[in-house]
A and B are shown apart, each in its own frame.
Chain A
Amino acid sequence: MSMATTIKSEFERLRNTEVWRTIFRSGSGASNLHRAQAVQQNIFLHLFSVKVRSRALEFSPTWYLGALTLSTFFILIATGILLMFYYHPSVPQAYADMKDLQFVVASGVFLRNLHRWSAHAMVFLVFAHMFKVFYRGAYRPPRQFNWVVGVFLLLLTLLLSYTGYLLPWDQLAFWAVTVGSNIAKAVPFMGKQIRFLMLGGNEVNANALLRFYVLHCVILPLAAILMVGVHFWRIRKDGGLYVPEKKKL
């Protein structure tokens, strides 16, 4: 028996064990019923319908921009958790941790690079996704609300990126956030109060770093995950990915 068939039969045996079948109730088998159950009986996958229009999976309607955005989000969660092991949200330790990532931690530079470039990529992809959806007219009924959810996801993405920008505590981070938080001051009547709430003080200091850290690592990611869940669930509820009706020839 070749290696491949051995692995395949071993995997088949594994899928028929009692433990496996308590986790994945659909069991082994390659019928469409099994495949439907694999989606329907999985807490994460059951957000999606069990069948999709094959036209929706072609490249040109979506350019896979939504899938690519989700991909960068996954990469950001994975690298972000690893970065948290090496980071203290305090002054001046935060900057020292950047230097440690650069010179002490194995592959620390690569880890930080991957997180940073993925973040830029995600902001770009979210914008691209939005414009693509608009130009295809995929926001039209019954998908109005999912467009609104998408706009909130755009704002969450910008906030995630912006709060993360401060964390290295270098000159670039400090002054970028100073420029941004000065804009908050211009809000009529309560600008100063908003800025105080945002920074935990009247200027960007250690309190601001801690607030941005908690927002960046806890509150905003949880909000984003929740909204992404709603976004996907609504795709199914609104009749699947949008494809224009076929013109009758």
Chain B
Amino acid sequence: MTDDPKMQAEVQSDVRKNPRRIAFILRRTSPHVKTQDDTRVMTYPTALSRFVIALEVAFVLLVWISLLANAPLEGIADPMHTPNPAKAPWYFLGLQELLHYFPPMVAGVLVPGLVVGALIVIPYFNINIEGESLWARDRKRRLLVLGVVLAAFCVFLLVFDVIVALVPTILIGGLMLWSARFSAESPKLFQRWLSSKPLSFWIMSWFLVELTVLTVVGTFFRGPGWSWVLPWKS
């Protein structure tokens, strides 16, 4: 609100005495809707019917799966008989894989805490919002800093023998450093695309690949005593 005496908001609630109402149009409080020449359609029925189709597709597919495959059910819970290996649900097997290398304090508390924290703050960093290419400015310095950080992280993973996490790190990290060679003037589309990516893209892609690899390894390639097994040789 403003302190300007000419702009005092009316606070009386009796409309017979004070029939005027003031609407304050404040800047930056409305969603930044760009009214371009975008065509618009009605939510009902167009968007709603699209949703119903999505619902039907999901339902039909899941009914088919449910008719073909049964949900697992083992013997009754027995605290005296530990299965080997005892596995968490699949979406936690990436974490369980990390538990194999690091103490529970790190793999079970610190890592998931950091992941959730990092996900929450993504939209509050300017660097993520501008989406500027990683190599647009300070190319040499950034290359040096990121190269050192990446190398240190790889050594750390190597010391703890976490080969499973090391391979995706080298792949994505290497691709990131390699992309510094290219610019918007590079001849190939793929090279231009790589060079245009911001740092957040590389971090998120690294997270996605790590998540996938760790989960797949934990789900399919780990057997008794958390040793390596091949899923097709049971």
Contacts and interface: CB of A to CB of B under 8 A. Distances in A.
Interface stretch (B14-22, B122-130, B137-145, B171-179): B122-130
Interface residues of A, number: 89
B55 A140 contact: no
B73 A162 contact: no
A171 interface: yes
Interface in A42-82: 45, 48-55, 57, 64, 67-68, 70-72, 74-75
A219 interface: no
A127 B109 CA distance: 20
A52 to B, nearest CB: 5
Where chain A touches its partner, the secondary structure class is helix
A55 B95 CA distance: 39
A148 B121 CA distance: 8
A140 B76 contact: no
Contacts of A179: 86-88, 96
A52 B47 contact: yes
Nearest to A140: B129
A60 B206 CA distance: 23
Interface residues on chain B, size class: 35 or more
A19 B104 CA distance: 62
B223 interface: no
Contacts of A183: 95, 99, 104, 108-109
A168 B79 contact: no
B31 interface: yes
A16 B129 CA distance: 51
A75 B59 contact: yes
A188 B109 contact: yes
A144 B129 CA distance: 10
A131 B46 CA distance: 26
A123 B73 contact: no
A172 interface: yes
Contacts, number: 206
A144 B50 contact: no
Given A113-B70, A131-B208, A183-B104, A158 B91 contact: yes
Contacts of A141: 32, 123, 129
Nearest to B95: A183
A179 B37 CA distance: 55
A51 B35 CA distance: 13
Nearest to B99: A183
Contacts of B122: 134, 139, 147
B70 A131 contact: no
Interface of A: 32, 35-36, 38-39, 45, 48-55, 57, 64, 67-68, 70-72, 74-75, 91-92, 95, 98, 102, 109-110, 112-118, 120-121, 123, 127, 130-131, 134-135, 137, 139-144, 147-148, 151, 154-155, 158, 161-162, 165, 168-176, 178-180, 182-188, 203-204, 237-240, 243, 245-246
Interface of B: 31-34, 36-48, 50-51, 54-55, 57-59, 62-63, 65-67, 69-79, 81-83, 86-92, 95-96, 99, 103-105, 108-109, 116, 119-120, 122-124, 128-129, 131, 201, 204, 208, 211
Sort A-B residue pairs by CB-CB distance and give the 7 closest, nearest first: A186-B104, A183-B108, A239-B31, A174-B77, A144-B123, A113-B66, A175-B86
22 contacts: A35-B44, A45-B43, A45-B44, A45-B48, A48-B43, A50-B43, A54-B38, A54-B40, A57-B41, A70-B51, A70-B55, A91-B77, A117-B71, A121-B58, A140-B129, A151-B120, A155-B116, A168-B73, A179-B96, A180-B92, A186-B103, A243-B38
